[in-house]
């Protein structure tokens, strides 16, 4: 894609991401349930109207995340997010120059777990789209993440290493993970991962 004229124009304009790719991804995704349908509509609107829908300066901006799984033992990996005070999936914001939500999720997952063998599982499909409220902090006002979620698998769960002392990791059965996340919308991603286990 580097040689495409629209990509060169995006870089020249200082845009982080190539909007039409994101809109194509969203157009091909089928939301489930009223909440996700509404969230997806907001995401489509963001992708259409913003020159850089990944910009952290926007009150609603895109992020990408992943539920890391070990299919053989049907377990999922959760990370303690000190900022939010809860157990969640891995993931985060795109860096300047990144264009693909899946690649953002893969990079973030590798950084936050130390796992070097992560691959989309069972394929590279988007698995969940959710808008998440983020409370204000000392460095940011309250805002929302338009989070695009994938499932990534590892063959070596014992190789997972926390990114730092404040971000422990836990391998859990899906039911245990549901109990930890409670009413958080991550429970929908957990349901979908469990269905993939078969």
Q: Is the pLDDT confidence value at 67 over 60?
A: yes
Arithmetic mean of pLDDT over the chain: 90
pLDDT of residue 2: 39
pLDDT band at 151 (very low <50, low <70, confident <90, very high): very high
pLDDT at 17: 59
H helices within the chain, ranges in order? 5-12, 19-27, 34-49, 101-113, 174-181, 186-197
Structure confidence at residue 93 (pLDDT) = 94
pLDDT attached to residue 122:
98
5, pLDDT greater than 50:
no
For residues 143 and 70, give the distance between their C-alpha atoms in angstroms, rounded to a whole number.
32
The model's pLDDT over 70-106, given as tens digits with 9 standing for 90+, comes to 999 999 999 999 888 999 999 999 998 787 899 999 9
Residue 11 has a pLDDT of 39
d(CA 25, CA 186): 20
Rounded CA-CA distance 36/90 in Å is 20
**pLDDT confidence of 39, banded at 50, 70, 90?**
very high
**pLDDT in the model for residue 140:** 86
Q: Which CATH superfamily is domain 5-197 in?
A: Nucleoside Triphosphate Pyrophosphohydrolase (3.90.79.10)
């Amino acid at each position: 894609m580097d040689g495409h004229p629209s990509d060169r124009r995006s870089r020249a304009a200082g845009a982080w991401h190539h909007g039409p790719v994101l809109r194509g991804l969203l157009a091909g995704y089928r939301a489930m349930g009223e909440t996700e349908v509404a969230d997806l509509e907001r995401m489509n609107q963001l992708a259409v109207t913003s020159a850089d829908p990944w910009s952290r300066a926007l009150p609603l901006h895109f992020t990408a995340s992943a539920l890391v799984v070990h299919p053989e033992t049907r377990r999922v990996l959760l990370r303690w997010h000190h900022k939010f005070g809860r157990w969640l999936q891995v993931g985060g914001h795109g860096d300047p120059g990144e264009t693909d939500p899946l690649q953002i999720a893969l990079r973030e997952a590798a950084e936050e777990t130390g796992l070097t063998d992560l691959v989309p599982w069972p394929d590279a499909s988007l698995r969940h789209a959710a808008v998440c409220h983020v409370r204000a902090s000392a460095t940011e006002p309250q805002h929302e993440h338009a989070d695009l979620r994938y499932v990534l698998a590892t063959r070596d769960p014992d190789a997972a290493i926390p990114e730092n002392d404040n971000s422990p990791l836990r391998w859990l059965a899906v039911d245990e993970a549901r109990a930890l996340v409670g009413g958080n919308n991550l429970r929908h991603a957990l349901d979908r991962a469990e269905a993939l286990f078969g």
